[in-house]
């Protein structure tokens, strides 16, 4: 038996939960539940608290340890919860000694994450119950977008040396993984603080060159305006680099982007998508867009709606604006909640229409699909495929597409 992991939020958290699973196992922490929280929205924090209360109700004897970005940014309020035994910071959670000494570290072991300068690779052997392995290449962020608390949960940007990333990918390939996702908080700032400052494009090429067993390399969300030229060229000439990019666009209006302290303009986003599509015609784009950012009026919102078509986005993640405590955006004139909800619904609808158009275009084709631990797989474009029954996980197979259900393709 080993500790139970409950993971919220991003792929980085999924990777780190795997690191903690190993540390907890080696420390013999069999009766613990580790809750790896997210702080990106108020809703994510609310769900974490609700889950902690449920776990305590269902497991009166277990040791409940809370970590992750919500614990890092608001340690005292989690430590004040009677259900919680320990609160562990985002740096401490990756340190094996935290887990061997967990009974003697007091209720809180959370240090100043802004003081952290380097990221050592915390290697993993795999991701339990996943056919796609997630590798952390970067952490933290040097930007300060006005709506975002991530830098306060993750610290400043730091990168894992290229050799360590290659070694990690090699281990995962040896353990049977055919698809790898490179992840971080702001991966397009990869390498900025490393000797020789290697860029993300160089990292991608090194991984593909030195680990030929990996059939698919995927990137997690990127900041398009920071993408380096070599990375774009890699999309043109590396077939094993998957034709799917998730973009952190956030809005389609330049004044809103300025008030968000984003580094790109509407025109930059559109030009980026056109350029990458010229280099890699089969590429598809997903994007994060916030609905109802403070001061956003109907005309500004309409420019976010129009961005879906102008960038030909297919996989949309819509975030109703959520004021995060301590952020500049939380102090700006807020849009009324009902309007935020209504705009988010219109944006989702736009996204669903775009996805349906993409799904419809795949019907009748035979696509390469990675099979996973459910009757679901994913194409190279990261489109979900539903199987009648769960195939053997972790294989890449040719699948004839018979139809779609508006959200997923249906295998013949």
Binding site for ligand SF4 (CB under 6 A): 141, 143-145, 148, 150-151, 185-186, 223, 248
Cα–Cα nearest to 387, from 410, 363, 358, 357: 410
Instruction: Tell me the C-alpha distance between 201 and 213, whole Å.
Output: 19
Dmax of the chain from CA atoms? 61
Q: Least distance (Å) from ligand SF4 to the CB of residue 251?
A: 12
What letter would DSSP give residue 365? -
Q: Least distance (Å) from ligand SF4 to the CB of residue 151?
A: 5
Q: Least distance (Å) from ligand SF4 to the CB of residue 143?
A: 4
**Closer to ligand SF4 at the Cβ: 188 or 383?**
188
**Closer to ligand SF4 at the Cβ: 39 or 64?**
39
In contact, 295 and 340? CB cutoff 8 Å = no
**Closer to ligand SF4 at the Cβ: 62 or 261?**
261
Q: What is the DSSP string of 120-160?
A: -----S--TT-SEEEEE-EE--S---TT--HHHHH-S-EE-
User: Strand (E) positions, 52-141?
Assistant: 63-68, 86-88, 108-109, 132-136, 138-139
**Closer to ligand SF4 at the Cβ: 141 or 227?**
141
Phi-psi region of 258 (alpha: psi -120 to 50; beta: other; left: phi over 0): alpha
In contact, 287 and 313? CB cutoff 8 Å = yes
In contact, 385 and 399? CB cutoff 8 Å = yes
Q: Least distance (Å) from ligand SF4 to the CB of residue 152?
A: 9
In contact, 122 and 242? CB cutoff 8 Å = no
Q: Least distance (Å) from ligand SF4 to the CB of residue 288?
A: 8
Residue 263 Cα distances to 140, 267, 320, 361, angstroms: 17, 12, 21, 33
Instruction: Tell me the C-alpha distance between 157 and 160, whole Å.
Output: 11
**Closer to ligand SF4 at the Cβ: 109 or 156?**
156
**Closer to ligand SF4 at the Cβ: 117 or 144?**
144
Q: Least distance (Å) from ligand SF4 to the CB of residue 40?
A: 8
Cα–Cα nearest to 146, from 271, 279, 251: 251
- Distance from chain centroid for Cα 338: 28
Instruction: Tell me the C-alpha distance between 55 and 32, whole Å.
Output: 11
**Closer to ligand SF4 at the Cβ: 122 or 149?**
149
**Closer to ligand SF4 at the Cβ: 143 or 346?**
143
Tell me, letter by letter, the H, E, C secondary structure of 297-363.
CHHHHHHHHHHHHHCCEEEEEEEECCCCCCCHHHHCCCCCHHHHHHHHHHHHHHHHHHHHHHHHHHC
**Closer to ligand SF4 at the Cβ: 169 or 291?**
291
């Amino acid at each position: 038996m080993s500790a139970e992991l409950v993971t919220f939020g991003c792929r980085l958290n999924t990777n780190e939960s795997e690191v903690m699973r190993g540390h907890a196992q080696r420390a013999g922490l069999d009766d613990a539940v580790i809750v790896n929280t997210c702080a990106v929205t108020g809703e994510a924090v609310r769900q974490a608290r609700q889950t902690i209360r449920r776990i305590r109700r269902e497991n009166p004897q277990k040791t409940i340890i809370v970590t992750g970005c919500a614990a890092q940014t608001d340690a005292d309020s989690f430590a004040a919860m009677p259900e919680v035994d320990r609160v562990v910071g985002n740096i401490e959670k990756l340190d094996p000694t935290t887990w061997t000494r967990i009974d003697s570290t007091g209720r809180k072991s959370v240090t100043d994450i802004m003081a952290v300068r380097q990221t050592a690779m915390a290697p993993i052997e795999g991701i339990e119950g996943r056919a796609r392995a997630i590798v952390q290449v970067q952490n933290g962020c040097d930007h300060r977008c006005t709506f975002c608390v991530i830098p306060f949960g993750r610290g400043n940007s730091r990168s894992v040396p290229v050799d360590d990333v290659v070694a990690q990918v090699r281990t995962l390939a040896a353990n049977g993984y055919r698809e790898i996702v490179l992840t971080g908080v702001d991966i397009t700032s990869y390498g900025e603080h490393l000797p020789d400052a290697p860029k993300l494009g160089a990292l991608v090429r090194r991984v593909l060159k030195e680990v030929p067993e990996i059939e698919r390399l995927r990137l997690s969300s990127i900041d398009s305006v920071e993408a380096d030229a070599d990375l774009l060229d890699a999309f043109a000439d590396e077939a094993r680099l998957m034709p799917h990019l998730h973009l952190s666009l956030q809005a389609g209006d330049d004044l809103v982007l300025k008030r968000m302290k984003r580094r790109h303009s509407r025109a930059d986003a559109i030009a980026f998508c056109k350029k990458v599509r010229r280099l890699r015609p089969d590429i598809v784009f997903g994007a994060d867009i916030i609905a109802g950012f403070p001061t956003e009026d109907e005309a500004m919102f309409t420019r976010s709606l129009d961005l879906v078509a102008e960038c030909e986005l297919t996989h949309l993640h819509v975030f109703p604006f959520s004021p995060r405590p301590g952020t500049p955006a939380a102090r700006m004139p807020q849009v009324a909640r009902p309007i935020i909800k209504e705009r988010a619904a219109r944006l989702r609808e736009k996204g669903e229409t775009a996805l349906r158009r993409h799904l419809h275009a795949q019907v009748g084709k035979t696509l390469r699909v990675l099979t996973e631990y459910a009757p679901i797989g994913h194409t190279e474009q990261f489109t979900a495929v539903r199987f009648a029954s769960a195939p053997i996980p972790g294989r890449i197979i040719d699948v004839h597409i018979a139809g779609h259900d508006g959200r997923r393709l249906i295998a013949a």
